[in-house]
Amino acid sequence: MDEHEIRIPVEGGSLVGHRGGQGPSALVLHGGPALPDYMGGCARLLSDRFDCIRYTQRGVAPSVEVGPYTIEAHVADVVRVLDALDLDRAWLVGHSWGGHLALNMFAAHPDRVAGLICIDPLGAYGTIFEPFGRNLRAKLTAEQGARVDEIEARRRTGDATFEELAERGLLIWDAYFLDPARRMPPPDAMGLECSIEANRSISEHYAAGTLADRLPGLPERPALFVHGVQDPMPVESSTETAKLVGGAQVVLIDASGHFPWFEQPEAFREAVADFLSPLSDS
């Protein structure tokens, strides 16, 4: 896939990313928040289906590193990208937090969304965090789990340092994969302030029931939820959220953790192709 760099001007700097592929335009949103873009492999798999547009979200280099970092700010950035590229509507392909961002963009601006593909998303219900944490800790040693819990408690109060968050990220990264010996390289950067503020915003929106309340009343769009069966993120994060989205389909991919396009690329491609096929025929 041939890609070229894009730079979307925003206040304080730019959102930096890449664009390539053919077909309807799709914003490919990485997880995190506060991580650099890691969706290149996913975009390559989808490049014969979509004109893939991916960028590092605000809060970490090479994109702008100034806030705010709330859900509202990230949604506004999605709108800025669409406007800058003269796109009235686009598909949203989001992974993990990126799936949550896609759903919030849909809830706020349904007229700008052509369709959704949510991959192992952070869904509409905060109740998944307890089993999610339990599943992650099951893959760690007792010492590692205690250290992750300690850092996580400090993160929630805004007291965690960058070094602690980086340490936590490395401790849990392997647990996201079915086979840690075959894993994606861990991110090499993290935005500390973005991580704290964005996660605080996520918690506030869960408490307010933003997605649970808004998604059922939205106009129907093509929507696919893809979820690895062995992901520490419970499959209910996809299946229960999909029930709120009119006409949504769910595909569970076996022998995969949190990154199904990486661990099971053929099954992932097949799931997307089967989902899109009736749309191209209509």
Q: What is the pLDDT of residues 188-227, one digit of tens each?
A: 888 888 988 998 899 999 999 999 999 999 999 999 999 9
**Residue 49: other Cβ atoms inside 10 A:** 21
From the CB of residue 160, how many other CB atoms can be counted at a distance below 10 Å? 21
Angle between helices 97-108 and 192-208 (to 10 degrees): 50
Question: What pLDDT was estimated at residue 170?
Answer: 83
Main-chain phi, psi angles of 52, to 5 degrees: -90, 125
Mean pLDDT of the chain: 94
Q: What is the CATH number of the domain that holds 132?
A: 3.40.50.1820
Whole-number pLDDT of residue 281 = 63
Helix segments in the chain, DSSP class H: 40-46, 71-84, 97-108, 129-137, 142-156, 162-173, 192-208, 210-214, 236-242, 260-263, 265-281
Q: How far apart are CA 201 and CA 231, in angstroms?
A: 24
pLDDT (tens digit, 9 = 90+) per residue, 34-51? 899 999 999 999 999 999
Per-residue pLDDT tens over the stretch 247-276:
999 999 999 999 999 999 999 999 999 999
The one-character DSSP state at 175 is: G
Which tens digits make up the pLDDT trace of 111-169? 999 999 999 999 999 999 899 988 988 989 989 988 988 987 887 676 878 788 778 88
Q: pTM score > 0.85 for this model?
A: yes
* 152: its two tokens: 């996580």
Q: What's the domain range around 93?
A: 3-281
Determine how β-strand 90-95 pairs with β-strand 25-29: parallel
Q: Structural domain tally of the chain?
A: 1
The set of residues, in sequence order, having a beta carbon less than 8 Å from that of 258 and lying 6+ positions away, is 96, 120, 176, 177, 228, 231, 232, 233
SS3 percent helix, strand, coil of the chain, rounded to 5, is 45, 20, 35
Angle at 238 between CA 240 and CA 106, to 5 degrees: 90
